[in-house]
Chains A and B, each alone.
Chain A
């Protein structure tokens, strides 16, 4: 069960199979979904990207790439741009960073999750989706240690189970949710707080 009481930010990470998974999560959400969502997917670099429009096609919620120094606002799903790490400043604005890859990845899910942990503490909710490496697991654990609510896609429902399983293995998750339930539960939880 997902409870959004007191939650100021939702952060979602994914890799292999992640685009399909994230569209499924966002599909049921209304355009006035009250909690900002930050999405970090491993993606191709150095090619023109259509990820924003691909995801936007499937949801009423506004989808945009995060810009540097942009203030994080509700009723929007932000995607980490290709070939940058997505960081968050104390004043809840985005920062971009083109530093070394972490776990072969830029954007790194771990880095964004760590920032969310440090800035939002127990007012955050994290979800780790399908993926073929362990990026995101240690970031999710830090979120959990700071009091955030932490979920993983049930590996049984994942296209590639390595990523959610890594989070489970280190004890970073409170609960597992099947992919086709995540969006629905978020939608219901939003109704309760509005």
Chain B
């Protein structure tokens, strides 16, 4: 039956493709959670080779251009502006006043994908008059999504939803002041990008590269097994100034991290933590 034949990716195939990617391309997915990763491989196999897994293995091994596309599909790049508005409301109320004490504010959006949360955060900073003295780093393992983040051009069809989210997040301005509509897109204004830096960084293999006052990494840890989660939280600990903030996704926690003791809760529901002053 057609429905059953769709499921050609089992444990064996997943482990094999992880090995092939590592050996041929040097990117390590061994610490990724398998249920989600397996669905990605299934999806790619259905789409690119009509269910023939061997073709995928071959193309990943031999075709660099194909692999770049594959890499973009195998990691989840879905994101939205002001996802969980109550989280951004908490940032406005509890975090920005603290950040305002700093002369220079450094923020890191780790695994930022196409950048929607970077622009969401920049909006908040702008409205608190903090954007001018902020530098926002956006990193991802995938260079294609970073290009999109750098451009700040998003489909206009999502703007209505983003506007509602913005308002629920405590935004009192006119959201449409922040972008220009052009050819079915919303192009975010240039002043946002002045203080943004985008670069490639892989949380699996790369380390700390600066000291930050806030790190945001929402809905990334869910794709990682416990040891990898722990490794990533260590990088964040090493990258945060004392008292620096760490923001995770609404269903993520520090529970599986060896370094959970280095943090205290700022808002348990919104998953906002803070590195202790003395660790």
Chain A residues in the interface with B (C-beta under 8 A): 46-48, 65, 67-69, 81, 83-84, 87-90, 95-100, 111, 114-115, 118, 138, 141-142, 145
Contact A145 B78 (CB under 8 A): no
Of the stretches B16-24, B80-88, B185-193, B206-214, the one at the interface is B80-88
Q: Which of A46, A98, A115 is within 8 Å of B85, CB to CB?
A: A46
- Complex formed: what's the CA distance from A113 to B80 in Å? 26
B181 CB-CB contact with A under 8 Å:
no
In the complex, how many angstroms separate the beta carbon of A96 from the nearest chain B beta carbon? 5
Residues of B within 8 A of A47 (CB): 85, 168
Asked, given contacts A68-B222, A97-B222, A99-B76, whether A46 binds B83 with beta carbons under 8 Å apart, the answer is yes
Q: Which of B39, B86, B219, B256 is within 8 Å of A87, CB to CB?
A: B39
Residues of A within 8 A of B36 (CB): 87, 95, 97, 99
Residues of A within 8 A of B168 (CB): 46-47
Contact B222 A67 (CB under 8 A): no
Q: Which of B7, B76, B78, B256 is within 8 Å of A118, CB to CB?
A: B7
Asked, given contacts A96-B222, A98-B219, A99-B76, whether A68 binds B252 with beta carbons under 8 Å apart, the answer is yes
Asked, given contacts A46-B165, A111-B39, whether A98 binds B1 with beta carbons under 8 Å apart, the answer is no
In the complex, how many angstroms separate the beta carbon of A111 from the nearest chain B beta carbon? 7
Q: Which residue of A lies closest to B219 (CB)?
A: A98
Determine the main DSSP class of B at the interface with A: helix
B126 CB-CB contact with A under 8 Å:
no
B251 CB-CB contact with A under 8 Å:
yes
Contact B3 A141 (CB under 8 A): yes
Residues of B within 8 A of A96 (CB): 222, 251
- Complex formed: what's the CA distance from A90 to B14 in Å? 13
Residues of B within 8 A of A69 (CB): 226, 256
In the complex, how many angstroms separate the beta carbon of B255 from the nearest chain A beta carbon? 8
In the complex, how many angstroms separate the beta carbon of B184 from the nearest chain A beta carbon? 20
Contact A99 B251 (CB under 8 A): no
Other A-B contacts than A97-B36, A99-B36, A99-B40, 7 sampled, CB-CB below 8 A, are A87-B35, A95-B35, A95-B222, A96-B222, A97-B35, A142-B7, A145-B3
17 residue pairs from A and B, CB less than 8 Å apart = A46-B165, A46-B168, A65-B251, A68-B221, A81-B251, A83-B84, A87-B36, A89-B33, A89-B35, A90-B11, A90-B34, A97-B36, A99-B78, A111-B39, A138-B3, A142-B3, A142-B7
Q: Which residue of A lies closest to B40 (CB)?
A: A99
Within 8 A of A (CB), among B45-84: 76, 78, 82-84
Contact B78 A98 (CB under 8 A): yes
- Complex formed: what's the CA distance from A96 to B221 in Å? 10
Within 8 A of A (CB), among B228-279: 249-253, 256
B223 CB-CB contact with A under 8 Å:
yes
Highest count of chain B CB atoms <10 Å: which of A84, A96, A100: A96
Residues of A within 8 A of B35 (CB): 87-90, 95, 97, 115
Highest count of chain A CB atoms <10 Å: which of B4, B168, B221, B256: B4
Q: Which residue of B lies closest to A139 (CB)?
A: B3
Highest count of chain B CB atoms <10 Å: which of A46, A48, A115, A118: A46
Q: Which of A65, A68, A83, A99 is within 8 Å of B39, CB to CB?
A: A99
In the complex, how many angstroms separate the beta carbon of B90 from the nearest chain A beta carbon? 12
Q: Which residue of A lies closest to B269 (CB)?
A: A48
